[in-house]
Structure 1
Amino acid sequence: MTDIRFTFLFLAALAVTFTLRLFLSWRQMRHVAMHRAQVPAEFAHSIPLATHQHAADYTLAKTRLGIASGVLDAALILAFTLGGGLQFLWSQAARFDLGPIGTGMLFMVLVSAISALANLPLSLLSTFGIEARYGFNKITPRLFITDMLRGMLLSALLGLPLLALVLWLMQGAGALWWLWVWLAWAGFSLAMLWLYPTVIAPLFNRFQPLDDKVLEARVTGLLARTGFKSQGVYVMDGSRRTRHGNAYFTGFGAAKRIVFFDTLLSALSHEEIEAVLAHELGHFKKKHVAKRMLTTFALALGILFVLALLLASPWFYQGLGVTEQTHAMALVLFFMVLPLFTFPLTPLSSLLSRRHEYEADAFAARESGRQPLISALVKLYRDNAATLTPDPLHSAFYDSHPPAALRIAHLKGLPA
């Protein structure tokens, strides 16, 4: 392939992705606005009209912000590639004469820093604009800055050594460098699964053992019935940052933890919390977590193999507006443009995720009853201002969870 042909291919992928994102956003906004005036019949007895309209307006505001984010993403990609941004940043990093690995690391840090700064206004608008306007944000400017600085420091402490290892392997591991890099990344990912619940997450939130003895007894009984072992059940102070409620599992092996947001515990009854927990347990019992992990590892191996094929191809660099044919440049270019070519495949991962949600719902219905889960879901849709009327195409493309109406109908159709 020639560099000119690849330039046109890149621009075509960018145009298709950008247009598709705009089209889906337009459909979502139109569909939500059209159904704003009336609560769907199946939710009319549990969701007030004012709450439904609040959720619709919240969805519209987030979708508009998503459009702005899409425009910014496209502009950044063009500025970095054909606009000469990456070439300029490489020339600045090379002035310090840090050697191939040091120069590559500095170059990638500069790219990341500029990207983060460019996205900061939208992050501020989301947190202190939309989330605050619709009653969800509770984070203070001071805590926002503290979180950002902690995140940057953590990224440097964990990410820079990994990046140095990757560049070192690319430089000295021979033709199979991509396999060694994959092994290093896989090992790092598994280590993070172990470190996150015990070391990383406590840097940002407080985790306390569940002290509600009645609820603890229900949880213990559910864990015993399902044969699930964990390190403990914890309550996280999610209310420091948001009014959204959530629950999740984290870690693996002996480090597995069950975590409830304090906001979720205050919103649901004990039997509803048990049902939500049963749903999360369903993901483990159905091996969804392991399947997703294996899929991610397999895709990463394939992606690194493709990068290895492109590494020595001048048209790949020149077609994207750069002349420096280095390992660091290849990494940045590849992972910058890869989403443009894979974006049309997004519905496949969304479909798989929704199937897993249905399976987890069915598991929860068997273990804790379908009605408590239905009741919990309705409350979560209401309290999190999740739209009850998403556009079907937008939902099929993006949503990892089934739309509310379909999910509730599926639960009602399960055996009592």
Structure 2
Amino acid sequence: MSSLVFSVLFCAFLLLSLTVRFWLGSRQIRHVLLHRDAVPQEFAEKIPAAAHRKAADYTVSKTKFGMLTLGINAAVLIGFTLMGGLQLLSGALLNWAGAPDMYYQIGLIVAFSVISGVIDLPFGYYRQFVLEQHYGFNKMTPRLFFIDMLKSTLLGAVIGLPLLWVALTLMASAGQFWWLYVWLVLSAFQLLMMVLYPSVIAPLFNKFTLLDDDSLRTRIEGLMTRVGFASKGLFVMDGSKRSAHGNAYFSGFGAGKRIVFFDTLLARLAPQEIEAVLAHELGHFKLKHIVKRIAVMFLLSLGFLALLGFLKNQVWFYTGLGVNPLLFGNNDAMALVLFMLALPIFTFLLSPLSSLTSRKHEFEADAFAVRHTNAADLVSALVKLYEDNASTLTPDPLHSAFYDSHPPATVRISKLHAAAADLHQAS
């Protein structure tokens, strides 16, 4: 393939993805605004009209902001690639390092990451302190925002730099099948992070305390016994110091699994509703959704690394994206950066497959919860969460199918009622 052909393909896929994204965003805005003043009939007695309008306005604001950032990110992408931004950055670092050695390689990726982070910073700040603040969801202070950013940066450096060094070393010296060795290292690292995240990393950002509500703990332990789930502990996370949104999840791997409730969730839901929400989350575990997702993630990463193994030796891959590869030096870091930039453009249209699988898992987890708790409690909990999180009840169907990992509210509630009826009929 020539560099010109690859450049044309890159631009064509970028234009296609932008067109589809803006079209879907426009559909979402029109559809939500069209239904802004009418609460769906099945929710009319449960969600006030004012809350429904707030959810519509919040959804429209988020969609418009997403479309703005989408356009700017596309311009930044073109700036880094076809307009020569990465080529200039590479030249500056070569002048600093004197040779395309490991310092240059790591320096290129670090410099690219820093520049990208600086570009993203105003958008993250606006999202938190303007958009989320306007709708009453932000509980974070600017001080905490920048402390979190500093912690994330330091953590990324401590963990990411050694891992990057290992990957670049393998790329340079492990031969034709370096990508297989890198995959093994990355896979082992990801499994290690699943073990360490709950007890080592998460506490760096949030405070976790043992659940001290005896009656709720007894109820939850009874649920775990019924479904055969062993947990290392039941914890409450101080999510309210950052956001008014609520959630519950379990994390960890093997014997280190722990169940975590946002304090905002506990404050809003009744004990039987909390049990039903947790039953849904445990359904993902018992139905092996987590294992399946991990397996898919590992297979995809293996395939992508194999693809990178091919592309990093193709001159057109670099020149087609605005970079002149080093003729007598190491291009591995540049290949990594270009691959990370280009891959989402070429795979964007596959996004609905992931969303479809995720929604299927959500239906299955809901059905699992219905078998082990009261369906009415899960419905009641979901309605409260839809209202509290200002989740629109009337998304555009096509936009939802393309992006949403969870089914639309009306579809999900309908399926829950049907599952409960089937269970009642079977018994």
Q: Give the TM-score taking structure 2 as reference length.
A: 0.97
Distance 1:384 1:340 in 2: 30
C-alpha distance after superposition, 1:218-260 (max 9, x if no partner): 0000011111001101000000000000011111101111000
Aligned to 1:125: 126
C-alpha distance after superposition, 1:14-38 (max 9, x if no partner): 0001111100100000000000011
Shift of 1:324: 2.2
What SS does the aligned partner of 2:236 have?
strand
What SS does the aligned partner of 2:96 have?
coil
Distance 1:262 1:151 in 2: 23
Distance 1:55 1:101 in 2: 50
Distance 1:278 1:229 in 2: 13
Q: Is the 8 A contact 2:315 2:325 kept in 1?
A: no
Aligned to 1:373: 378
Shift of 1:99: 4.8
Distance 1:342 1:99 in 2: 31
Distance 1:328 1:18 in 2: 27
Distance 1:278 1:90 in 2: 51
Aligned to 2:143: 142
Which AA in structure 2 matches 1:213? Answer: D
Distance 2:165 2:265 in 1: 41
Distance 1:283 1:82 in 2: 43
Distance 1:43 1:261 in 2: 25
Pick from 363, 379, 396 the counterpart of residue 358 of structure 1: 363
Aligned to 2:45: 45
Distance 1:202 1:244 in 2: 19
Which AA in structure 2 matches 1:380? Answer: L
Aligned to 2:402: 397
Distance 2:72 2:277 in 1: 37
What SS does the aligned partner of 1:387 have?
coil
Shift of 1:352: 0.1
1:9-408 matched pairs, under 5 angstroms: 9-97=9-97, 99-325=100-326, 326-408=331-413
What SS does the aligned partner of 1:128 have?
helix
Which AA in structure 1 matches 2:354? Answer: S
**Structure 1 alignment gaps of length 5 or more:** none
What SS does the aligned partner of 1:234 have?
strand
C-alpha distance after superposition, 1:156-203 (max 9, x if no partner): 000011011100000000001000000010011011101100000000
Distance 2:266 2:325 in 1: 54
Distance 1:131 1:143 in 2: 15
Shift of 1:304: 0.5
Q: How large is the RMSD of aligned CA atoms in angstroms?
A: 0.8
Moved over 4 A (4+): none
**Structure 2 alignment gaps of length 5 or more:** none
Distance 1:202 1:95 in 2: 41
Shift of 1:92: 1.4
Distance 1:390 1:7 in 2: 36
What SS does the aligned partner of 1:183 have?
helix
Shift of 1:72: 1.6
Shift of 1:76: 1.1
Whether 1:3 aligns to 2:3 is yes
Q: Give the TM-score taking structure 1 as reference length.
A: 0.99
